Chain A
Amino acid sequence: MGKKNKIALLTYASIIFLVPAILQNNYHLMVLNVAALNIIVVIGLNLLMGYAGQISLGHAAFFGLGAYLSAVLTTTYGLPPWIMLFLAMGITGLVSYAIGIPTLKLEGHYLVMATLGFSIIIYIFMLQLDGVTGGPSGFAGIPRLRIGSLTFDSDRKIFYLLWPVSIGVLMLSLNLIHSRVGRAMAALSHNEIAARCSGIDTETYKVKIFVISAVLASLAGSLYAHYITFISPGTFSFFYSIQVVTMVLVGGMGSLWGSVFGAVLLTLLPEVLHAVKEYNVLIYGAILMVVLIFFPEGLLPGMVRTWGKRRSGGGSFSRQPTALEKRG
């Protein structure tokens, strides 16, 4: 990680640390907490989209898998939450590995469909296995997380759990993409064949990235379950997968800071535009299309490009300047 990123990360962390002092409204804190969880999922997904050149439309399922595994294991069976959180991550990792191995070997975009199919299966199980999951009416009474005698039972307390985790994930991911693995990933996203020729085992890398991104979604899901203490299948529907993909695209594929921006912006947006609930689907669809059509490299990088330096008019980019050019 370069010096610039370290300074940015420190500044970012200190600003976040001060936010609860300024914000008195618990509801605002809750929205920000949800944003922190979304950041975790979106960063993971961006590693996949920006560095493996693959899209998952099943992150709602991995998020849901984390949430339901944590919920069922801790509430029904009374097992310790923290350990179950890691167990859920492990199980989700194995599941994603099983999906990734066959699909990522194929040329083309089979992962999109495989993950989408998988997420629909998981969704149906959440609805139908009501003996275990509570079915459509949801699963309530999930215990809160605690460290020693400190129980994370208010929005304010949990803010200081979720945000450090989300910043930690950002830091680790920034480290990852600036490591040897990260350079291999960047090469892979740039030109898979060239990467393979220079001795990078592209298949293994793609599967690894996919597993990492699924595990991160599971982590966010478990934290979500213990935070809200009630989960229902609706949260983990196809639409959530679309939301996180949109967040990645708005922030720019391959740009982790962009992901933070995209996740926060799109989590806050529905709260700012009140009475928008009816139009939520339409708005996400429209944002997704506009960003993809006019700013395929991301809204933030796109705007910077348009207003920043307008030397060459328009310019055609066959592959967006993702990984190699803008590291982090």
Chain B
Amino acid sequence: MTLYLQVLQFLLSGLTMGSTYALIGIGFSLIHNATGIVNFAQGEFVMLGGMFMITFFSFLRLPMPVAFFLTVLSVAAVGLLLEQGPIRRARSKEILILVMITVGASISIKGLSMLLWGKNPMTLPPFSGDAPIVLLGAAIMPQSLWTFAITVIVVVGLNYFFKGTLIGKAMRAVAASRRSALLTGIPVDRMILLSFTFSGALGAVAGMILTPITTTSYDAGVMLGLKGFSAAILGGYGSMPGAVVGGLFLGVLESLSAGLISSEYKDALAFFILLTVLFFKPSGILGRGRLRRV
């Protein structure tokens, strides 16, 4: 009975972490689909989400919804600037070079954040108190419910956007074939810009819902980015349902192994899974057969 409760508890916390991994993974997929590059700065978007929210909410004492909205705007602007500046201006459009530019952007953002916000870990108060709710015998924090709810809203919203709106369809067309999209008159450049902006916004949301649970610091981005990337790979890189499945799966595995086996090697496990997937089924859980470059 206690083991059952423990497992249930780990499952819940795993799903909570997993939802944020899913959001980060979707961010990776968006940019990958539009441009074919792996955006290493994705994790920094998440870190910035936490940091901006702390600045707006805890320091400037803005009301939470306003702070939330401003944070999404700010990090989306960082994504937009990343595309408009370094990526657009790069003299070589080779994927490898562009990927490394995002690595450079990632450590620059990290370095700047250290100067702006210092080296100490910071945290946010939970959105609505911290009295746990008891569910089937397991305690669940209200923040976890927020995390689930916001993730579901974002995923459903994105799903509608991609399936139901013209811009969303255009973005999918770019992902399917950049050249054909261009030929049909879709402004590909603008779609790429949009994908970076969206990824920034997604990172911001992930960072805001995560920070009350795990705290954040200037160097939190690399690890979160990698977890999100592992989630995306695990589910099938470039696919949105894949990122969600992969994220939840990774979160649960991580939490179970940390709780039942050893918490010291928790982070190692995520990458062990990543390596295993790359070795045996590089197309991921939901991936369809052959890999190709977009």
Contacts and interface: CB of A to CB of B under 8 A. Distances in A.
Interface of A: 53, 55, 57, 99, 102-103, 106-110, 112-114, 116-118, 120-121, 124-125, 128, 238-239, 242, 245, 249, 278-289, 292-297, 316-320
19 contacts: A102-B280, A103-B279, A106-B282, A109-B95, A113-B278, A118-B275, A124-B264, A125-B268, A242-B107, A245-B103, A281-B114, A282-B112, A284-B111, A286-B104, A287-B104, A289-B108, A292-B92, A292-B101, A317-B92
Interface stretch (B55-63, B144-152, B179-187, B222-230): B222-230
Interface string B83-106: 000100111111111011101111
Interface residues of B, number: 47
A289 B278 contact: no
Nearest to A99: B275
Interface of B: 38, 86, 89-97, 99-101, 103-112, 114-115, 222-223, 226, 229-230, 233, 264-265, 267-268, 271-272, 274-275, 278-280, 282, 291-293
Contacts of A280: 111
B230 A117 contact: yes
Contacts of B97: 292, 296
Nearest to A98: B279
Contacts of A238: 222
Contact of A293 (B86, B94, B268): B86
A124 B293 contact: no
Given A53-B96, A109-B38, A109-B95, A285 B105 contact: yes
Contacts of B282: 102, 106, 110
B111 A118 contact: no
B100 A249 contact: yes
B100 A117 contact: no
A107 B100 contact: no
Contacts of B275: 99, 114, 117-118, 121
Contact of B278 (A53, A110, A287, A295): A110
A99 B272 CA distance: 12
Nearest to B108: A285
A83 to B, nearest CB: 30
Given A113-B38, A238-B222, A285-B111, A124 B265 contact: yes
B24 to A, nearest CB: 14
Given A117-B272, A239-B107, A284-B111, 18 more contacts: A102-B278, A106-B278, A107-B293, A108-B291, A109-B38, A110-B282, A114-B275, A120-B267, A124-B267, A281-B111, A281-B114, A282-B108, A286-B104, A288-B104, A289-B101, A292-B100, A293-B90, A296-B94
B88 to A, nearest CB: 10
Nearest to A118: B275
A184 B293 CA distance: 24
Contacts of B226: 113, 116-117, 120
A245 B274 CA distance: 22
A106 B278 CA distance: 9
Contact of B91 (A108, A279, A284, A293): A293
B107 to A, nearest CB: 4
A102 B279 contact: yes
A71 B223 CA distance: 28
Q: Which of A107, A110, A278, A285 has the most CB of B within 10 A?
A: A285
A308 B282 CA distance: 46
A57 B104 CA distance: 12
Contacts of B293: 107-108
B94 A318 contact: yes
B271 A296 contact: no
Contact of A55 (B96, B104, B274): B96
Nearest to A108: B293
Contact of A285 (B107, B267, B271): B107
A310 to B, nearest CB: 15
Nearest to B89: A293
8 shortest A-B CB distances, which residue pairs?
A282-B111, A285-B108, A288-B104, A117-B271, A296-B92, A289-B104, A285-B107, A281-B111
Contacts of A103: 278-279
Nearest to B282: A106
Nearest to A316: B91
Given A121-B268, A285-B111, A320-B92, A242 B38 contact: no
